[in-house]
Structure 1
């Protein structure tokens, strides 16, 4: 007989990522409400599993009457989800990013992932996305009629002190070194700013796409940035907090981003951000178009929005920020103001609980 409480099915992947952070914080927030949550971290090669990976998923879905399944697993398992729902189980898919949105997939693989995810999400009892941007996209691409939204919360954090060098501000990028995160655009833009004084730290694992990480290291050397731009590797805990504490501006150049948890993590520390248009990171910053003055309810955004993959536009925005102390002060003030109004993970947990229909 299936157990009561909630089964949370995810991938056994310990690399730092926004999705892993969301899952970890959500589980903690659900447990804080008194909910019994059993986490099942599946081994395997998700989101492209082998046949040997599937029995563990079937067992996990059979173990609980209600299961929340991370999208990286759910998108690859339409038959297993359909079978569980047909057996009377409630299976809710939690989608952090559409399976076909990973940059660099060949067309055949992209189409395969798109089709498999469509069948999986249509078979699920309910679908939850981590932003309104992502929910609207999933509904349109997969013909879904009621995708729910549970935006990420944030943990309270101390306001960043910043670099302490007004004449040499610290720029920070946080994310795995992949074509999707597109750190190359950031580095190319920095190459146009060598006449100015700044430092930049790019925090992120090189292991997801080692070839791309190697190209980034070569770009740093070829652009003459080796003394000012540092690829730190993946950082967690105190080491990552040290980077946040010294940051003056977050730069997120993702070509695809469901929400951009790193943006609200920056805002929780009073650090403004530059994000790319057409991604969920704009929603994280506070819904606006390319003109940063069009923030929510007429307020200014705590940062700027630039077109994706546009080196010239990004360099121009960074140049203005680096050379205009008034702008830096204004964006810092707006980020500190937003810091006071960010929702916690308890809000996210309440949204998920409503969709799950369990207590």
Structure 2
């Protein structure tokens, strides 16, 4: 729970954070850790909106000296707005993913966004990353002395029952190039097994670029009991992301004791599953082939998932960790 003056913290975050049609790990994180804060949602095509005035207006209305948390997607592309306010407000920026790490950016755009982000993060009072690996990257990338780590929490969940224990695969992720659905589908199509893949997440234009296969179903975004049911029916959770800072869907799977084969999620996965190098189709194919062909491999993954399940942090712990960071900014 938030204590004392910490309840005065304002949180500037994307307006779609609470939209069930646009679920994402970042949005869920924002909503779960912001209990007790005054949320200031701002609409725009982030990270460089056509109208930066919405962020300027949100910050201008806050009295000098107050603590303000900004989602990095909103803040890091707008140094011309954020940096001047950093001189009078105690700003903290929550970085879910460095702007330049989004898949599909041309080199010039990536360099520009990286420069914008560096200006913002060097100006503010605190930077918060969502994993130890991401924090180390941000420190090196932007020459920062200290970056706080507040990992996402998980909710307790029953162990997934699965189907036949082998063939029903689940991937929960927005259909974007960064999430690697193209890699995953290509690899699965090379494997001689009776597999079925359910993809849960918002449909994007990238969906049209994926190789068609009747064994792959795209369910769109699911929440609540529908999402819980998708996890419960799964035998294996798979994620072929090219880049992540944490990977909340992985810990959500592990919270249900689901075996996991994934890439780009070392901190979320821990010792709870098989981590393959991002974009390495050969390594992913080898891991999935073992899953289908080797009972001992499957049993071992289930044991690892359940051990990791017992060590996952809660959202209450994450909220308290963030509270301590923000409370330290007050005189």
Q: CA RMSD in A?
A: 1.9
Work out which of the residue numbers 9, 14, 31 in structure 2 matches 1:11. Answer: 14
Q: What SS class does the counterpart of residue 179 from structure 2 fall into?
A: coil
Q: CA deviation at 1:56?
A: 3.0
Q: CA deviation at 1:50?
A: 2.0
Partner Cα separation in structure 1 for residue 50 and residue 196 of structure 2: 44
Q: CA deviation at 1:54?
A: 3.7
Work out which of the residue numbers 312, 315, 322 in structure 1 matches 2:292. Answer: 322
Alignment-derived partner of residue 59 in structure 2: 58
Partner Cα separation in structure 2 for residue 340 and residue 126 of structure 1: 31
Q: Does the alignment pair 1:174 with 2:172?
A: yes
Work out which of the residue numbers 203, 207, 215 in structure 2 matches 1:213. Answer: 207
Alignment-derived partner of residue 292 in structure 1: none
Q: What SS class does the counterpart of residue 180 from structure 1 fall into?
A: helix
Q: CA deviation at 1:90?
A: 0.8
Alignment-derived partner of residue 225 in structure 2: 238
Alignment-derived partner of residue 294 in structure 1: none
Tell me: CA distance 1:60–1:189, structure 2 relative to 1, closer, same or farther (3 Å).
farther
When normalised by structure 2's length, the TM-score is 0.92
- Contact 1:47-1:73 within 8 A present in 2 as well: yes
The count of aligned residue pairs is 320
Q: What SS class does the counterpart of residue 91 from structure 1 fall into?
A: strand
Q: What SS class does the counterpart of residue 250 from structure 1 fall into?
A: strand
Q: CA deviation at 1:198?
A: 1.8
When normalised by structure 1's length, the TM-score is 0.85
Alignment-derived partner of residue 76 in structure 1: 77
Q: Does the alignment pair 1:285 with 2:288?
A: no
- Contact 1:270-1:332 within 8 A present in 2 as well: yes
- Contact 2:161-2:233 within 8 A present in 1 as well: yes
Q: What SS class does the counterpart of residue 83 from structure 1 fall into?
A: helix
Q: Does the alignment pair 1:355 with 2:325?
A: yes
- Listed as ranges, the gaps of 5+ residues in structure 2 are none
Tell me: CA distance 1:50–1:268, structure 2 relative to 1, closer, same or farther (3 Å).
same
**1:124-167: per-residue Cα shift (whole Å, max 9, x none)?**
1100000011111111111111011001111111111112x14x
**1:5-62: per-residue Cα shift (whole Å, max 9, x none)?**
110110112311010111111123xx3xxxxx11111011211112443433333655
Partner Cα separation in structure 1 for residue 45 and residue 221 of structure 2: 21
- Listed as ranges, the gaps of 5+ residues in structure 1 are 32-36, 287-300
- Alignment of structure 1 residues 268-347 onto 2, 5 Å: 268-276=255-263, 279=264, 281-286=265-270, 301-347=271-317
- Alignment of structure 1 residues 75-114 onto 2, 5 Å: 75-87=76-88, 89-114=89-114
Tell me: CA distance 1:269–1:275, structure 2 relative to 1, closer, same or farther (3 Å).
same
Partner Cα separation in structure 1 for residue 253 and residue 39 of structure 2: 28
Q: CA deviation at 1:121?
A: 0.5
Alignment-derived partner of residue 20 in structure 1: 27
Alignment-derived partner of residue 160 in structure 2: 160
- Contact 1:5-1:64 within 8 A present in 2 as well: no
**1:223-243: per-residue Cα shift (whole Å, max 9, x none)?**
xx31x2111112112211111
Q: CA deviation at 1:86?
A: 1.4
**1:190-244: per-residue Cα shift (whole Å, max 9, x none)?**
1111x3112111111113xx1x11112xx02xxxx31x21111121122111110
Work out which of the residue numbers 181, 198, 202 in structure 2 matches 1:201. Answer: 198
- Contact 1:57-1:80 within 8 A present in 2 as well: no
Q: What SS class does the counterpart of residue 103 from structure 1 fall into?
A: coil
Partner Cα separation in structure 2 for residue 348 and residue 60 of structure 1: 28
Q: CA deviation at 1:302?
A: 2.3
